[in-house]
Each structure stands twice: as structure tokens, then as C-alpha cells.
Amino acid sequence: MALLAALMLGTAAQAADDCSVTLDGKSLTAAQVLAVARQDCAVAIAPAAARRAARAYDLLLAYARLDKPVYGLNRGVGLNKDQTIFQGGEISPEVRRLSEQFNRNLLHSHSAAYGAEAPRDVTRAAMLIRLNTALFGGAGMQPAVLEQYAAFLNRDVTPVMLGEGSVGQADITILPQIGLVMMGEGEAWHGGRRMGAEQALREAGLAAVRPFGKDALSMVSSNAYGAALAVLAAHDARALLAQADAVAALSLEGLDGNLAPLLAPAQAQRPYAGQRQTAERMLGLLRGSALWKRDPQRPLQDPLSFRTVSQVHGAARDLLALLDRQLQVQINSSDDNPTVVLDAAPAADAPEYETQYYVTSGPVRGAVIPSAGFDPSAWVLPLQGTAVALSQVAQLSAQRTLRLTDPAFTRLPRFLSPGNGAIGYGPIQKTVSSLAADVRALSGPVVTDVQPQAGNIEDVGTNAPLTGLRVTGQVASLTRLLAVELMHGAQAVDLRYPQGPAAALGQGTASLWRDFRAQVPAMVEDRRNDADVITATAFLRQARAQPPAWGRADAER
């Protein structure tokens, strides 16, 4: 327990003190997940949470001593739930040997992932979430396993983990890779180098753990990987929406469009929270813009891709808000099966069926109850909805980009050509269509696309990790699409205000235009658009990492 004590005090942390995160199993936030996953912030286990988790482990063993069948402890898992691992109430050396063998077999057999290696931040987030949910008290892991999770995060041991193969009913084919590294098997990253697990543990000053009891099942029967993907994707999508607001606002200036749909009286007629938030943000970006001046040449109404930005971006924000609330529950609760419930007691008139799950005497009491808490539909459905919402955001961006090249809408040169025989942004329209199709293709629902497994016992799923991976892919493609729109919007205001756009733009859009033009100069003759797309995409990605005022997500403002 010496290592656990050190972790509780945070002395094992190598990151900055003001960056450390104390885990209590109940109050982890998405921002803290980001801090540990991407900033290498240290973790410390709250003493009360450590005691709670240790008591849950003791309760699990107390229940086993009653010689009652427990899924994943003294009985097999899946279709093999009818197989006995050990019998009897005492944890003898032979019982421990059988249990450790079963745990090893479970981790080996369930390690069945494929595909690309999960990024480092995703793996760290998954370990953090699994640790915190175990500290909630429902897992019944032995303290040594909890110590190992925290030590991996604090001592830079990141298991090599293939990231596909889960059906989203707990990530049981992906998470074993973490457990195997804890045992000294497989590979891990340490100090920026990929190496065997034994070497990584040795260099980090750690010993291999020996999973026992329900450890292996608790390691794998969790949605920590899918939740990690969802938390990171939700953060990135929110940051992307902030950029989409700014790019759309600049495009509106390039169009010489109307502010009326964004005005407070219009918004009050249909007061969805995300919609009003988007409108207020865009009006702030456009403060001082020439669009506030009447223009007799300005059309009465603009194309829908310009008019409905607040509605579409707002709907995406509303879905992200729901997703955030549901994920907050996921990362601060138990999705274990069976789940260990500390200090629970049956009612005096409880039927025998219910009382069979309780330990009612001894130093630790409670229940060990079969559960279906591993079904993550509560947050996978809004995650899937977010994917559809991002597709709509992409559709608007693509259409705005194409409208900006049409003189019938802009009264500017065709394809935003600078003249002198230049073709301008004509051929790149195919790129716009392709990127929009990429985002749209990734929005297709996959939640119910699951085949029965484990002898038809596990006959449904959610594909939570796949949905998270698809949203992550959407963020990448939508970033490129917005980069292309930004190229068009900046070119449009350059042509509309040849004496210099800065004085005619809003306070926020002028800042965006200046920052962008420092990276991608105005098109004065035809040049390679692919090079500009790469630079413009990198510009938006960098702005998300260190957001300027025009690109700050709502929580950062």
C-alpha cells in the first residue's frame, strides 16, 4: 500500500502541481480528462476514494466466501457463465492459483482488437476514466490494480493499444491490452520510446501486477475507451464549432449579407439555447462591421446556408450539451457487471430472490448484483446525434463556399478570381464537395449495427467506440472544409474591399482575417490550392490548440 499512499499524496506526479487532478470517483470533469490526456497532468487518489475501493474489494471477497456464484469471479463469463472457476468459501492458495490463471486467460482470450493504434491521449483518457469509475466503488478491483492505473498515468507508461473491435457493450476486446501491460506483457510507450512491457515497467520503477478475483473482468468490462473517445471528440467538436462561427461570419461579410436573422428580436421568437448562443457570438464577432450599414445593393434575404447558421450550429451545441451531461454520469459511476454496492441492505420484507445478493454480516456489508450498466446508450445516442449535426454544419459550410464563387450572389468576380486571366477557385469546388461527402458519410448511424455474439447471449450493442472514431474523423474532415471556406471568405473580403478589408470587418472577423493572412496570402494569381489547403488546415488546428479570441469555445470565453 506504500505506492497507493504516495499516489494519494500526489508525490508520484511528474507534471506541474497546478495541473494535478485528484480522483474521488464522483467528480471527474471533461476538462480534467483533457488535462490528464493531453497535458500529462498528474493524478492523485483521494484517501476516501481509496478506502471505498478497498472496501468494495473486501466486500467482493466476503460475498465469494459465502460460496455463491459470481460472474467473472468464481464463474466464467459470456456463454461460459455456467463454468465453475473455483468452489468453496475460503480463498486458499489453490483457489488463488486458479483465480489468477482464470484472470490471465480472460485477458489473453479477450484481447482481440485490430486496426490502428489508439492515440496516446485516448489511451491515457481511457486509463483515467477506468480508474475513476473503479474508485466509485462498483468494480471490486484489488488496490494493486488501482495503483497501477495511477502509476501508468504519472510515470508515462502508455500501453500500445489497437483501437478497433469493440461493439460498445463494454470495450472487452480493446481494454485487455492495458491489463496485459500491467502484467508485463505486450508493448508500451515510455519516455517517447516504444518497448516491451517488462522494460517499460522496469524503467518506470514498477512491478507487474497479478490480477485476481474479478480484476480481469473489471479491467475489460468497462466503456472507458469509448467514453474517452467521446469526451475528446466532444471537446474538439465544440472548439470546431467556435471556429465555424467565425468562418461563417467572415463569409457573411464576403457575401455582403444580412444580419437580421441574428438580431435579438428574431432570435427571441424561437429561443433555443444553442441557437441564441450562436447568434450572440456571431454578432459579437461582427461588431463594427460594414454589414451594420444599410446597402441598397444588398439582397433582401441571403441563401439558407448563410441565414440558418445560428439554427444549425446552435442545434449542434444543444446536442453537445446533452452529450456532456450524459458523459459526466458515465465517467463518475460504475458500469461494472456484476456491480459491488457498498453498505446496501435488503428491506425487511425483501424476497429471497433479492436477499441472495447481499452480505448481511461481517466487517463489510453490501451487495454484489448482476447489472446491465455496461450499456452506454444514454450517451451514445447523443454522440450519434452530434455526428448528424456536424454533417449539417458541413453542408452549410460547403454551400456557403460555393455561393461565394457565384457573382449572382456576391457581385464579385467569378470563382473569386483576382483577374488577369486567373481561373481562381473553380476546380477546388470538387474538393469542397468531396470533403462534405466525407463528413456526411461518417454521420450514418451505426448504433444498431451489431451481430449477436457469445452464443446469442450478447445480442445487442451500441458501437460506441466506432461512433466516437467517426466523430473524430468528422472533426478532421470538417476542419479541412472550413479551411477551404476560410480561403474563400478571406478572398471575398479582399476583393470587396480592395483598399484593405480590416476597416470594414467586425472586430472578431478582422482579427481572424489578419491572423489568417499572416499564414495564407491573398490570391493575386493562380497558385497551387492544395498547398493553401494544407496551410489553412494547420492554421485552424493550431488555433484550436492555442485559441485566439475569435476561436474560443464557449467554456473558454
Q: Domain for residue 62, yes or no?
A: yes
Same domain, 170 and 307: no
Strand bridging mode 43-45 / 21-23? parallel
Residue corresponding to grid cell 447558421? 309
Same domain, 146 and 214: yes
3-class DSSP state for residue 163?
strand
Q: Domain for residue 367, yes or no?
A: no
Number of structural domains in the chain? 2
Indicate the residue type of 52: R
DSSP 8-state symbol, 14: -
Alpha helices in 157-263 (DSSP H): 176-182, 197-204, 215-220, 224-255
Residue corresponding to grid cell 478589408? 501
CA separation for the pair 557, 553 (Å, rounded): 7
Instruction: Report the Cα 30 to chain-centroid distance in Å.
Output: 9
Query: Rounded mean pLDDT of the chain?
Result: 92
Q: Domain for residue 287, yes or no?
A: yes
pLDDT of residue 16: 43
Same domain, 417 and 307: yes
The candidate with the shortest Cα–Cα distance to 323, out of 382, 373, 278, is 382
Q: Domain for residue 374, yes or no?
A: no
Indicate the residue type of 178: I
Same domain, 311 and 264: yes
Q: Domain for residue 8, yes or no?
A: no
Identify whether the C-beta of residue 504 lies closer than 8 Å to the C-beta of residue 492. no
The enclosing domain of 86 has a CATH number of: 1.10.275.10
Residue 44, φ and ψ in degrees, nearest 5: -130, 140
CA separation for the pair 9, 47 (Å, rounded): 9
Per-10-residue mean pLDDT for the chain, 557 residues long? 43 54 98 98 98 96 85 65 64 81 92 97 98 97 97 98 94 97 98 98 98 93 97 98 98 98 97 97 97 95 98 98 98 94 96 94 95 93 98 98 98 96 96 98 90 72 94 98 98 95 95 98 97 98 94 69
3-class DSSP state for residue 421?
coil
pLDDT of residue 8: 44
User: What's the grid cell of residue 191?
Assistant: 519516455
- Which is it for the CA torsion 523, 528, 530, 531, positive or negative? negative
Same domain, 289 and 212: no
pLDDT of residue 554: 65
Identify whether the C-beta of residue 73 lies closer than 8 Å to the C-beta of residue 213. yes
Same domain, 40 and 119: yes
Residue corresponding to grid cell 448511424? 445
Burial class (CB in 10 A: 0-12, 13-18, 19+), 482: buried
On the CB side of 241, CA atoms within 13 Å amount to 36
Of 174, 196, 221, the last residue of a domain is: 221
Indicate the residue type of 130: R
The candidate with the shortest Cα–Cα distance to 223, out of 375, 71, 68, is 375
Residues forming a β-bridge with 190: 157, 193
Same domain, 268 and 404: yes
User: How many CB atoms sit inside 10 A of residue 146's CB?
Assistant: 26
Residue 309, φ and ψ in degrees, nearest 5: -60, -45
Same domain, 258 and 187: no
Same domain, 52 and 182: yes
The enclosing domain of 541 has a CATH number of: 1.20.200.10
CA separation for the pair 28, 22 (Å, rounded): 8
pLDDT of residue 7: 46
Identify whether the C-beta of residue 145 lies closer than 8 Å to the C-beta of residue 439. no
Same domain, 64 and 212: yes
Q: Domain for residue 337, yes or no?
A: no
Same domain, 295 and 148: no
CA separation for the pair 223, 423 (Å, rounded): 51
Q: Domain for residue 118, yes or no?
A: yes
CA separation for the pair 396, 388 (Å, rounded): 13
pLDDT of residue 193: 98
User: How many CB atoms sit inside 10 A of residue 357's CB?
Assistant: 19
pLDDT of residue 80: 59
Of 165, 190, 221, the last residue of a domain is: 221
Identify whether the C-beta of residue 284 lies closer than 8 Å to the C-beta of residue 244. no
User: What's the grid cell of residue 162?
Assistant: 489497437
Same domain, 185 and 162: yes
pLDDT of residue 95: 78
Instruction: Report the Cα 327 to chain-centroid distance in Å.
Output: 9
CA separation for the pair 282, 247 (Å, rounded): 10
Of 221, 244, 265, the last residue of a domain is: 221
Residues forming a β-bridge with 23: 45
Q: Domain for residue 387, yes or no?
A: yes
CA separation for the pair 557, 538 (Å, rounded): 22
Domain that holds residue 95: 22-221
Burial class (CB in 10 A: 0-12, 13-18, 19+), 557: exposed
